[in-house]
Amino acid sequence: MANNLTAFLSELGEVGLLTRDFARLFLRRPFEPRLLLEQLDNVGVKSFTVVNLTAVFSAMVVALQTGTLLGKFGAKIYVSRIIGLSLFREMGPVLTALMIGGRVGAGITAELGAMSVSEQIDAMRALGANPVKKLVVPRVVATMIMLPALTLIADGFGIFGGMLISITQLGLSANFFLSSLMQMTRLSDVFGGILKAVVFGYIIAIIACVKGLGASGGAGGVGSATTSTVVATSVTILVTDFFLTKLLLTI
């Protein structure tokens, strides 16, 4: 127990130190647009399918479950409002973040971990280059940009999935579904979800980088670090989501 607490606090300290270095180097010239573009492609474009499939099917399940339940009380007409609110505020940012944490976070840790154990990170430092500037900054920035973008697109796909079920299974019309959705959805719901996605993006990338740069002990060490990233990002996203939701509901 004491060892786990020490390890947790030590990793928290490393996240703090890397955050400090990230903030210090984020705006330092030269900017490296090529490295950022590579990461934008890796984080965003390559995650497009998996994120949107998750959004579509999750929203379809919500539509089926809530529609069936609400139908018993003659309240099916509220399905679109429930789907809209749950997608924009929670499911969109959280599910997208969990998928990106699994796909991109694990990938970042595996890549940086392999570089660490094969002396590539040390070689970079020995050549007078800063690994935080070269490796961490592009990955963190790209994840903070692409996670909100993917969340917005996933929201759209989720709405489409929910609407499909509402029309085919619940007997609602597309017009009714969309107008009801528009009436109940406030811009602050969408922005709240986007804000969450930016924070989640930072959490995923910084944890993945800390675990990757700290990997040691060959292939086994890289494997443990990668697993640990998926667990740590998932738990941190869910815990942070609670506090962000509480904060957003009060303002």
Residues that bind another protein (CB under 8 A): 114-115, 118-120, 122-130
Burial class (CB in 10 A: 0-12, 13-18, 19+), 90: middle
Instruction: Write down the least CB distance from residue 48 to another protein, Å.
Output: 23
Instruction: Write down the least CB distance from residue 29 to another protein, Å.
Output: 13
Instruction: Write down the least CB distance from residue 207 to another protein, Å.
Output: 22
Instruction: Write down the least CB distance from residue 129 to another protein, Å.
Output: 5
Report whether 49 contacts 151 (CB < 8 A). Answer: no
Of residues 74 and 128, the one with the C-beta less far from another protein: 128
Of residues 120 and 168, the one with the C-beta less far from another protein: 120
Of residues 129 and 235, the one with the C-beta less far from another protein: 129
Beta-carbon contacts of residue 82 (< 8 Å; ≥ 6 apart): 62, 66, 70
- List Cα–Cα distances, 19 to 32, 39, 179, 198, in angstroms: 19, 19, 44, 15
Of residues 123 and 235, the one with the C-beta less far from another protein: 123
Instruction: Write down the least CB distance from residue 120 to another protein, Å.
Output: 6
For the record, the structure tokens of 179 come out as 């107008």
Of residues 41 and 119, the one with the C-beta less far from another protein: 119
Return phi, psi of residue 74, to 5°. 65, 30
DSSP code at position 28: P
For the record, the structure tokens of 121 come out as 């990170």
d(CA 22, CA 28) in angstroms, rounded, equals 10
